[in-house]
């Protein structure tokens, strides 16, 4: 029997991988192992093709590209929504591709934050990505409330994870809105969205989720769970390209709610060019668009999303779990007594699409990894995030990464670097 800690074993896993053919869809550097797909996914050949096709539409048709060509622009956001809806467990009417993570959060809070009586506070958590906090502070200030007192952040017991019980306990009578991540960006913990949504609704509180670190990595059932709204970026696991247009979900029970930030692309399609000064909003999540779609930023998603629909999000999740577990197993075997701590949940049901290795020399180690052909991700003060992505990372690559990391630690190759992050971490 081949030991699971050998390259031969990793190659055996690759041979059995039902998703292995999708690796050929992506541009992979032969002298590099990419482990940062949870921050920016790699370019696929299909995404490149659909971007070039959209450029050709512009070249060939000019303004008539709005309704002609390979990918007409006027309904592009809706066409993309039909694909993404299958990944988030929603009807296509409940999803739209638009804006960015932060713009969409501003839109949704402006729409659904309705302070009344003692219900004036917004509940978030202390481990969430900073942009969400900045947006919530801004929205509270716009409404005339002090963010210091009206933005409640649930504490973490250990600085890594959140306890759903603590979140539920914080759902007090003065909470008007709850905003939480689906997956914590540092530790990779998955929150129990179904339970949290049920508990929020028992208390008459609306709840929304930031799906940036889960979309494309794990299945969702937003509609079934009754989630009020959600928002996300499309450039991480979905490989939409740097700055790709984001997405949002609004449960159909809220259709007809006037957008807090109205714009002409929130119109019903057949009314938009009537140019009336009264908004006739779309009877779908499309109502929460603001401006004209960024066509050339949407275009790569056309090709990228087709890959996900072919691969199947359940298959993607299954491989993600096994390849991340393989990474964890190798870390425990090869890097024992080298100062690493696995700051990611061990249970499959609680672990997202990346593994967080904590080490006091994390910034220096990340630089050494890059010098040795591995692209990791650093999060201050002490986290090395490694993301084996189901569609394009092989088990053999994971094995090689851990051997490189072991060599870096054994020979102290990291010591020549400063233990501080670069301008972009």
Residue 91 confidence (pLDDT) above 90:
yes
Query: Does one domain contain both 298 and 368?
Result: no
Residue 381 placed within a domain: yes
Query: Does one domain contain both 247 and 267?
Result: yes
Query: Does one domain contain both 21 and 133?
Result: no
- pLDDT, tens digit (0-9, with 9 covering 90-100), for 173-227: 999 999 999 999 999 999 999 999 999 999 999 999 999 999 999 999 999 999 9
Residue position matching structure tokens 């007409």: 72
Residue position matching structure tokens 């467990």: 89
Residue 422 placed within a domain: no
Query: Does one domain contain both 104 and 246?
Result: yes
Q: Binding residue per annotation — 280?
A: no
Residue 422 confidence (pLDDT) above 90:
no
Spatial separation of the C-alpha atoms in residues 119 and 176, rounded to whole Å: 5
Q: Binding residue per annotation — 102?
A: yes
Residue 328 placed within a domain: yes
Q: Binding residue per annotation — 228?
A: no
pLDDT of residue 1: 81
- State percent of the chain over pLDDT 70: 100
Residue 421 confidence (pLDDT) above 90:
no
CATH code for the domain of 24: 3.90.1150.10
Total of domains in the chain: 2
Residue 42 placed within a domain: no
Q: Binding residue per annotation — 378?
A: no
- β-bridge partners, 33: 374
Q: Binding residue per annotation — 50?
A: no
Q: Binding residue per annotation — 292?
A: yes
Q: Binding residue per annotation — 264?
A: yes
Within a 13 Å sphere around the CA of 296, how many CA atoms are in the beta-carbon half?
6
Spatial separation of the C-alpha atoms in residues 140 and 51, rounded to whole Å: 39
Q: Binding residue per annotation — 149?
A: no
- pLDDT, tens digit (0-9, with 9 covering 90-100), for 395-417: 999 999 999 999 999 999 999 99
Residue 39 placed within a domain: no
Query: Does one domain contain both 208 and 284?
Result: yes
Tell me if 39 sits within 8 A of 424, measured CB to CB: no
Query: Does one domain contain both 340 and 215?
Result: no
Query: Does one domain contain both 352 and 267?
Result: no
Query: Does one domain contain both 213 and 95?
Result: yes
CATH code for the domain of 82: 3.40.640.10
Spatial separation of the C-alpha atoms in residues 46 and 112, rounded to whole Å: 37
Q: Binding residue per annotation — 75?
A: no
Query: Does one domain contain both 341 and 354?
Result: yes
Residue 72 placed within a domain: yes
Query: What's the mean pLDDT in 48-74?
Result: 98
Query: Does one domain contain both 251 and 343?
Result: no
Spatial separation of the C-alpha atoms in residues 124 and 170, rounded to whole Å: 10
Question: Is the four-CA dihedral 348, 352, 355, 361 of positive or negative sign?
Answer: negative
Residue position matching structure tokens 């957008």: 259
Domain boundary among 310, 328, 356: 310
Domain that holds residue 168: 49-310
Residue 37 placed within a domain: no
pLDDT of residue 341: 98
């Amino acid at each position: 029997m081949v030991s699971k800690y050998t390259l031969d074993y990793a190659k055996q896993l690759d041979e059995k991988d039902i998703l292995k053919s999708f690796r050929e869809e992506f541009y992979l550097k032969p002298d590099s192992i990419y482990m940062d797909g949870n921050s920016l996914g790699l370019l696929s050949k299909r995404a490149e093709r659909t971007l070039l096709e959209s450029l050709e539409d512009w070249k060939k048709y000019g303004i008539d590209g709005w309704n002609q060509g390979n990918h007409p622009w006027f309904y592009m956001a809706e066409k993309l929504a039909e694909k993404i809806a299958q990944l988030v467990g929603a009807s296509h009417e409940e999803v739209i591709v638009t804006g960015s993570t932060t713009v969409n959060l501003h839109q949704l809070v402006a729409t659904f934050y309705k302070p009344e009586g003692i219900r004036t506070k917004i509940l978030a958590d202390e481990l969430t990505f900073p942009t969400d906090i900045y947006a919530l502070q801004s929205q509270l200030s716009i409404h005339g409330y002090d963010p210091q007192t009206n933005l409640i952040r649930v504490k973490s017991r250990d600085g890594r994870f959140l306890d759903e019980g603590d979140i539920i306990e914080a759902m007090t009578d003065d909470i008007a809105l709850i905003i939480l991540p689906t997956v914590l960006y540092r530790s990779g913990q998955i929150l129990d969205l179904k339970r949290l949504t049920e508990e929020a609704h028992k208390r008459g509180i609306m709840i929304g989720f930031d799906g940036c670190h889960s979309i494309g990595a794990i299945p969702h059932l937003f509609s079934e769970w009754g989630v009020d709204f959600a928002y996300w970026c499309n450039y991480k696991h979905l490989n939409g390209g740097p700055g790709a247009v984001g997405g949002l979900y609004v449960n159909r029970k809220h259709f007809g709610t006037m957008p807090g930030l109205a714009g002409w692309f929130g119109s019903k399609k057949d009314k938009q060019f009537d140019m009336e000064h009264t908004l006739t909003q779309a009877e779908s999540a499309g109502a929460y668009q603001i401006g004209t779609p960024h066509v050339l930023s949407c275009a790569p998603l056309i090709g990228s999303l087709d890959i996900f629909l072919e691969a199947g999000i359940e298959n993607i999740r299954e491989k993600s779990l096994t390849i991340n577990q393989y990474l964890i197993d190798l870390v425990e075997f090869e890097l024992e007594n080298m100062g690493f701590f696995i700051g990611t949940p061990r249970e499959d049901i609680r672990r997202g699409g990346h593994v967080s290795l904590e080490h006091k020399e994390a910034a220096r180690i990340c630089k050494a990894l890059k010098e040795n052909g591995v692209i990791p991700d650093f999060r201050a003060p002490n986290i090395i995030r490694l993301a084996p992505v189901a569609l394009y990372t092989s088990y053999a690559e994971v094995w090689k990464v851990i051997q490189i990391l072991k060599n870096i630690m054994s020979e102290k190759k990291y010591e020549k670097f400063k233990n501080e992050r670069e301008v972009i971490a």
